Structure 1
């Protein structure tokens, strides 16, 4: 079924997307501002489910690539958002029919809204991850043989290029170098796929999930019930820790925001390791949960999601773990997004404590 996305729902959707962003994905406030601007100028966007996509549709994902810490200061424009779509359509030699999200988490759930509104195209209620991950190839379409290239990218200066590569890992590597040279934050369009392929490769109803999570937090606050519990219930996850942020160490290197945060609880201290998104949560030598499952930091009272660049000393927080799309737990997927890929010599730990090893 299709539904209409107007400016009135953007705040709730962005809040839910920040939850699924697992600490990364960019500042949801900035993405919401951009989406609202586009909707105000061009009108509401029609959101369609995967089941409603024509088999011969041309679906493109649109996203921001780069360090979320940089995007806070280097604000994108609508011209920058639509430039790679126009460039890629020209390269492919056919019109784009639908816009989709590469990831449901953070700003990359709202930038496609801006693109769809400005281009007058429908938006697909789906995404390539069901969460956020730091690298371009880390999407389920990669597992289905969908190529990221040709990939178009653009910056705020007006530079635009179309990249063709041998595989999605090389697309990431080359585009990341360009991203760093272009200011560590660019807009991209790629992963062109048919409606038939999109139905197989994307995570369904992820925009609807963002909206539901965001509304659930607001409704719980209004009802004076626990909004963190509402998030746990919506994600079918569990709360793994609560305490005060006592130390944050972060830096922007090679186009990523990397670092660690320590949260002091009543009897123990939790350490979070992140690369844009939270990857590992552990107390001492005890690993509680790792990528690809979701690690989410929420304000202890309001359940407002806190990004890795927003973590500050003294914040009272609660940490929630939740399951990822089950397809992320296959051997090929774990090799791409499990802790070993990021340099952590440990098996993957699911949100429920189950331990698994990538092949």
Structure 2
């Protein structure tokens, strides 16, 4: 048990943006909302999953929709409380704690806001270990838990209570409501007990986000950015796959998602290499010179070459210089059920999932420690 104040929130937001794999919502908006909440209402208690009573009722708090829309359609904060209170009234029992459903810029911040508003603890666990675009894409669903009941809320004061026969129907219906609410909405979902969180979630995710964020936010204290990048890749067990300049971005919002392709031209030792990243909210597949180097469920994430700050897809722009990093996903996603749920074929790519490190070992150029040059 420990307290999360302003400094912790700043680091968590940065680390969650990295694990968001390009998605998960804008970290700046969520960070400012969370900092405002704790300044007004006091620090939030972060619980280790082992500290949650076995039968305690916990719910996730999150945003659903197209992350780019949140850059213009800011939440006012009331919709979070509306969704949470409606969920508690529907269940007829007190909620013990909240938790993030994914690691992402705004979706790691929203539970902090809800915890502060309701004087509740936050549990150090999530259902992805990264961010994914659809509701059924969680380790809780892999374990057989329903996503519903769901309560959704918008900035106008509308709420919607959803109960469905399975998680895929939850995604379809919630997505349709999201579109009508303006392509983003706030949500309370995934009612789970303490024992279920420990068994089926990705534990200590907020602590990992904080450690990553602290390293990135102190990158200028290292002897060089190369050293800082090496430490970041050591912490995340990741690889640098390409250093490049963004030369083209194709981006559209459709059916409550952001879709797009980023085209990259290699720099420095990677000059002459051409890369592409394709995303659906989150980055799904990365290619260099037409060869696949990484796919979901492994993480493909871009960081600024000058600061190592993670770049979410709504913040991409022409000329930006980036490192493209690959990070191994949580082991739960590397099971047959996990790959079927979030592997490249689910996203309609005619590519089999191969773990990131195996793909990189098959490349012609050798890896050099954690900071791989591929």
- Same fold per TM (> 0.5)? yes
Match of 1:273 in 2: 278
Is 1:161 the equivalent of 2:160?
Answer: yes
Match of 1:247 in 2: 248
Given that 2:219 and 2:308 are in contact with CA atoms closer than 8 Å, whether structure 1 keeps it comes out as no
Q: C-alpha distance in 2, partners of 1:245/1:204?
A: 35
Match of 1:231 in 2: 232
Given that 1:54 and 1:195 are in contact with CA atoms closer than 8 Å, whether structure 2 keeps it comes out as yes
Match of 1:285 in 2: 290
Q: C-alpha distance in 2, partners of 1:305/1:8?
A: 18
Q: C-alpha distance in 2, partners of 1:186/1:287?
A: 34
Map residues 163-202 of structure 1 onto 2, 5 A cutoff. Answer: 163-202=162-201
- Residue from 318, 322, 332 that aligns with 1:313: 318
Deviation larger for 172-181 or 81-90: 81-90
Q: C-alpha distance in 2, partners of 1:82/1:224?
A: 45
Q: C-alpha distance in 1, partners of 2:61/2:79?
A: 11
Given that 1:26 and 1:106 are in contact with CA atoms closer than 8 Å, whether structure 2 keeps it comes out as yes
Give deviations 1:127-183, integer Å, cap 9, x for gaps. Answer: 110000001111100011111111000000000111000001100100000000000
Dislocated runs of 4+, deviation >3 Å: none
Q: How many residue pairs align between the two structures?
A: 354
How far apart are 1:354 and its partner, in Å?
A: 4.3
Given that 2:246 and 2:321 are in contact with CA atoms closer than 8 Å, whether structure 1 keeps it comes out as yes
**5+ long unaligned stretches in structure 1:** none
Match of 1:257 in 2: 258
Instruction: Give the match's secondary structure for 2:146.
Output: coil
**5+ long unaligned stretches in structure 2:** 361-374
Q: C-alpha distance in 2, partners of 1:315/1:29?
A: 19
Give deviations 1:68-122, integer Å, cap 9, x for gaps. Answer: 0001111112211121111111111111001010001221001110010011100
**Alignment TM-score, normalising by the size of structure 2:** 0.93
Aligned-residue CA RMSD (Å): 1.1
Is 1:332 the equivalent of 2:337?
Answer: yes
**Alignment TM-score, normalising by the size of structure 1:** 0.97
Given that 2:219 and 2:307 are in contact with CA atoms closer than 8 Å, whether structure 1 keeps it comes out as no
Instruction: Give the match's secondary structure for 1:319.
Output: strand
Match of 2:299 in 1: 294
Given that 2:62 and 2:188 are in contact with CA atoms closer than 8 Å, whether structure 1 keeps it comes out as yes
Given that 1:97 and 1:121 are in contact with CA atoms closer than 8 Å, whether structure 2 keeps it comes out as yes
Q: C-alpha distance in 1, partners of 2:93/2:99?
A: 17
Deviation larger for 44-53 or 211-220: 211-220
